[in-house]
């Protein structure tokens, strides 16, 4: 029940920001992954190129409707240190399900190529979720690596829609006033299936580039961290706070870069 209420929170918050429903996206994550011996992200990107060719020929959705990134733990605790994650996003649920079941039925040979580098058997789990934006950005140019802060959060008892609405509105206004407008995007991801840890949602903050990370660090060290704590500590508890490096798979389209 709490998770359903939190989804309503995100919808309400998005409406307050833009006066229209924000776009929401289905996501999948192969998380807690390790590479096969002697393999690394460069090998995975090579298989990614083969996958894009396979996708173009065999996936009825096509690669314009499904993008993927590899997240590599940079600053992380013991449970994530040395781990990677496949993060896939479709532009709507219809395309997501078409692509997924096409892969289940027809992707066996292509899957074997992934298994030689980093496949599902090398990962702790496979999660399906709903991604809601809490701060939107657009017009970003593709880059080879983006910094991403992640954490797993649980809402405290007796929090309300208005509490979250107010907190996000104030934090976004603070970030914009501090020069971070369109330099940071934020999302909450609610697990639907495949969850192995008890939390309500995963929080994600994506920085436009390295320079934006430096600007954010300066802002947070001069009042931003205190602002964030005052707004969100009464509402939620978060663990596994990590900095990840996000690398796009070859052939990603720019609708959600």
DSSP H helices, the chain, are: 2-18, 41-58, 93-106, 108-115, 161-175, 210-219, 225-232
The CATH number assigned to the domain holding 22 equals 3.30.70.100
Q: What is the mean pLDDT of each run of 10 residues along the chain (257 residues)?
A: 46 42 83 94 95 88 86 86 91 92 94 93 93 91 93 93 90 97 95 90 96 97 96 95 93 64
Q: Is residue 257 part of a domain?
A: no
DSSP helix/strand/coil, 172:
helix
Q: Distance (Å, rounded) from C-alpha 4 to C-alpha 153?
A: 15
Q: Is residue 108 part of a domain?
A: yes
Best CA proximity match to 147, nearest among 60, 247, 257: 247
Residue 126 has what pLDDT?
94
Residue 254 has what pLDDT?
61
The pair of three-digit structure tokens given for residue 174, joined into one six-digit string: 């603070």
Q: Is residue 48 part of a domain?
A: yes
Q: Distance (Å, rounded) from C-alpha 117 to C-alpha 37?
A: 8
The pair of three-digit structure tokens given for residue 27, joined into one six-digit string: 């996501």
pTM of model > 0.85: yes
Print the SS3 string covering 175-243: HHHHHHCCCEEEEEEEEEECCCCCCCEEEEEEECCHHHHHHHHHHHHHHHHHHHHHHHCCCEEEEEEEE
Residue 76 has what pLDDT?
87
Q: Is residue 135 part of a domain?
A: yes
DSSP helix/strand/coil, 26:
strand
> In which domain, by residue range, is 218 found?
2-251
DSSP helix/strand/coil, 100:
helix
Burial 55-81 (b: 16+ CB within 10 A, else e): beeebebebebbbbbbbbbeebeeebe
Is residue 118 a contact partner of residue 58, using CB atoms and an 8 Å limit?
Answer: no
Query: Which residues are CB-neighbours of 97 under 8 A, at least 6 positions away?
Result: none
Total domain count, the chain: 1
Is residue 133 a contact partner of residue 20, using CB atoms and an 8 Å limit?
Answer: no
Residue 56 has what pLDDT?
85
pLDDT digit string, tens, across residues 37-51? 999 999 999 999 999
Q: Is residue 256 part of a domain?
A: no
């Amino acid at each position: 029940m709490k998770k359903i209420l939190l989804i309503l929170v995100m919808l309400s918050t998005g409406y307050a920001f833009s006066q229209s429903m924000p776009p929401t996206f289905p996501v999948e994550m192969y998380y807690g992954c390790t590479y096969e011996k002697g393999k690394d992200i460069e090998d995975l990107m090579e298989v990614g190129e083969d996958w894009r060719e396979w996708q173009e020929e065999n996936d009825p959705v096509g690669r314009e409707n499904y993008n993927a990134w590899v997240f590599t733990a940079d600053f992380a605790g013991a449970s994530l240190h040395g781990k990677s994650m496949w993060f896939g996003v479709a532009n709507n649920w219809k395309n997501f399900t078409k692509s997924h079941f096409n892969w289940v039925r027809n992707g066996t040979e292509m899957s074997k190529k992934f298994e030689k580098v980093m496949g599902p058997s090398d990962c702790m789990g496979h999660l399906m979720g709903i991604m809601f934006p809490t701060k939107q950005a657009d017009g970003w140019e593709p880059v080879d690596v983006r910094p991403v802060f992640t954490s797993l959060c649980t809402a405290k008892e007796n929090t309300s829609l208005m509490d979250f609405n107010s907190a996000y509105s104030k934090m976004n206004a603070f970030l914009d006033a501090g020069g971070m407008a369109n330099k940071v995007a934020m999302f909450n991801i609610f697990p639907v299936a495949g969850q192995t840890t008890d939390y309500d949602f995963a929080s994600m903050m994506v920085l436009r580039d390295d320079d934006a990370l430096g600007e954010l660090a300066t802002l947070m060290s001069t009042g931003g961290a205190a602002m964030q704590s005052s707004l969100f500590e009464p509402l939620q508890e978060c663990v596994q706070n990590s900095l990840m490096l996000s690398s796009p798979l070859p052939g990603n389209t720019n609708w959600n870069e």
